[in-house]
Structures are given as structure tokens and as C-alpha cells.
Amino acid sequence: MSCRRHYATPLQAILILAASQAHAAGPISPDSDILGIKLTMTRDQARSVISSSYPAAQIVDLPVQLGTPEYKKSTVAGFMADITSKADQANNQQKTDQANKEFAAKQAAGFGDSVLNRSVASPGDYGREKIYVQVDPNDNTSDIFGVSRYKEFTKDHSLPISALVATFAEKYGQPSITQNGTSFTWMAPGVVEKIRNPPVHCVLNSDGDSYLYENPKITAQTIGGAFTNTINNIKAGDTLPYYNISKCGTVLQLSVGPSNDRQYATSMSVVLIDLSKARAELKQFAADFFAHADAAKQQKLSTDSLNKPKL
């Protein structure tokens, strides 16, 4: 019987190495950065980095509001910018124009104007890139606690997942945690052991915490509900260890959109966030909101108690 030796593919090799060195996290800290933005910066400094690196980008604030029938509190959860390159913008416009042309031809041929007759884009047809900065929502503060980046890779710039992960590994070491070959998380040394028992939610796997792990691709449409869910989870963290993220520290998470053969990255979402700082700042905001909301409720109850019916 012949003996056949099997060698791991580049992707398998990096995942095997990551699994075997799950304790050896990279140098993740608030001084780590995404496109030059560090968590030690102020809001104005982060805005300045975006403006200097992407002069044509428009920075948009993301307002949110928590409310009860008796009390409402508004704040800014963060800001974002579309930083898609000029080359990708031109490609995107060309693809859109072509799709519109094909749709018009179908209409002229009598197929009607149903959106089902439009061409469906496939991964790699378009290239988009956005950046999102999460800020301390409390009054009179300038801190930031998270930075997220979303990028789509066009077919002209295909990138194997193994090469993408290797790029991060060169800078931060091997991932602390890997999930399904498409999600990679870096943490400070010792954190994985701290959050294991009882388990703590330090890794993206729950829609309820989407404000902390927001994908800039859809942030503008989801920020309101995501912020509300997170505030509720922050409150729950006082009694449920799973939602008490104070032990997580700074986390870097890479989530990859894979090609059909799972060899190439069609998109990536990268989040750098100080979850300990985020919880402290959001907990402060939540405490202030609930205190005012409760006071307003009690005041209304007191006022409405005067509406006694005649007997």
C-alpha cells in the first residue's frame, strides 16, 4: 500500500496555524488603526484623517434617538463617509449604465417594466468602500471607540482569502479566534481565556449587537434600531454575563464575503473597537436616559392623578 502525503492549501494552512496558536494574539490595542484612524483619536482628529486621505468624500453624521412616550433623548452615534476610489466609481457607473441600457431594451421588446427584468449584479461587478466611526454618545465628549471599514473587491482586483488574512497576520500576528474560514478575530493576549467561562459576547455573531459591529454598507439604514438594541443589551449586561463586554478590551474583527468556491474574497468588513470603553460610555448614556425617562414617567403619573372623575 502506498503512502500518500497530503499538503494543506495556503488557506487551509493559515487556518490550521491560527487554530493551533489560538492563544497567541497580535498586538491589538487602542493604538491600532484602520486607514490611519486610531481609537485614541478625538472625533475631529478622525474626521481630519478622512478628509486629508479622501478629499472628495462627504462625511455624514448619524443621528439617533431613544424615546418613551414621556421622554426623548437625541445624540450622534457616529459618522461615515463613502471612500470609493475614482476608478471603482467609474466602473460602477459603467456597470449601472449598461444595466439600464439592457433594461430599456427589454422594455422596448415588450417585456414590461418589472424590476425582475433588470440584470442582477454578481460579486465583483461593483467596487464600493465606506468607513464608519463610532463615537461616545454622551454630551460634551469627543471620544471615539470604534472604526469600521467595508470594501468590495472587483473582478479586476481579485484577492484570495488566504492572501487577505496573511496581510492582517503580518501586522497583528495570527488570529485569536477563527470562524468558518470567513471570520477572523484578533484580541489582546489573555482575553480569550478571560471570556471563555462564563462565555462573553466579544465576537460578531448576534444581530442584537449590530451597533457595536456595524457594517458600513448598511449603517445609515440600520443605525437607529441597532443603537436601541445595544442600549438594551448594555442594560442586560448588568445581570447577564454574556452581554457584559467589559472584559473584551480592544478587538479587531475581519469578516470576509467569500466567492462560490470560498477561495476568493468578494468583500470584507473590518471592525476595530474597544468594547470595554464602548460599554462604559454606552452604559453612562443608558443610565442617564433611563433616569430621565423614569422621572418623566413619574411626573406624568403624578399629573394624571389629578384627573379624578366626579363620583
The 10s digit of each residue's pLDDT in 174-210 is 888 887 788 898 988 778 877 877 778 787 654 444 5
d(CA 231, CA 276): 14
* pLDDT at site 210: 56
Report phi then psi at 289, rounded to 5: -65, -50
- What is the mean predicted confidence (pLDDT) over 269-286? 92
Whether the per-residue pLDDT at 15 is higher than 70: the answer is no
* pLDDT at site 16: 34
Residue 125 — very low, low, confident or very high, per pLDDT cuts 50/70/90?
confident
Q: Domain tally for the chain? A: 1
Q: Is residue 73 part of a domain?
A: yes
Whether the per-residue pLDDT at 285 is higher than 60: the answer is yes
| Contact assessment for residue 149 and residue 143, using Cβ atoms and an 8 Å cutoff | no
- The region of weakest confidence among 52-56, 138-142, 195-199, 205-209 is 205-209
Q: Among residues 230, 213, 220, 193, which one has the least CA distance to residue 274?
A: 213
d(CA 265, CA 166): 13
- The region of weakest confidence among 18-27, 85-94, 114-123 is 18-27
Residue 69's identity, in one-letter code, is P
Q: Is residue 266 part of a domain?
A: yes
- What is the mean predicted confidence (pLDDT) over 299-311? 90
Dihedral through CA 175, CA 179, CA 182, CA 187, nearest 10?
-30
Please state, rounded to an integer, the average pLDDT across all residues of the chain. Answer: 82
* pLDDT at site 133: 95
- The region of weakest confidence among 13-17, 116-120, 167-171 is 13-17
Q: Is residue 281 part of a domain?
A: yes
* pLDDT at site 245: 85
259: three-class secondary structure by DSSP: coil
Q: Which residues pair with 81 in a beta bridge?
A: 59, 131
**Structural domain of residue 265, as residue ranges?**
10-96+123-295
Q: Is residue 201 part of a domain?
A: yes
* pLDDT at site 265: 94
| Contact assessment for residue 125 and residue 99, using Cβ atoms and an 8 Å cutoff | no
* pLDDT at site 5: 35
User: Running DSSP on this structure, what letter comes out for residue 117?
Assistant: G
d(CA 238, CA 236): 5
Which CB contacts under 8 angstroms, 24+ apart, belong to 56-59?
A: 57/81, 57/82, 57/83, 58/82
d(CA 234, CA 226): 12
d(CA 286, CA 73): 10
